[in-house]
Amino acid sequence: MVQGLLEYRGVDARMTAIEPSEDSACDDADDVCFALMVRVRDFARAESILKTTFTDL
């Protein structure tokens, strides 16, 4: 979803699934956790798009 949103808005994005870090909020066995690494060429534009889309960033 995030990659598609960024590409729709004209940001070149590549996403890779990664393991959550030990200090992440994924410590509860009942949680379904995942982490994504997003590689973008225009970080400021991608950050702006994501902040306006996901208010809890």
CA distance 21 to 2: 20
pLDDT tens digits along 1-57 = 777 777 777 777 777 766 666 665 565 555 555 556 667 777 788 888 788 777 654
Where do the structural domains in the chain lie, given as residue ranges? 2-20+32-51
pLDDT at 57: 46
pLDDT at 9: 77
Q: Is 42 exposed, middle or buried (0-12, 13-18, 19+ CB in 10 A)?
A: middle
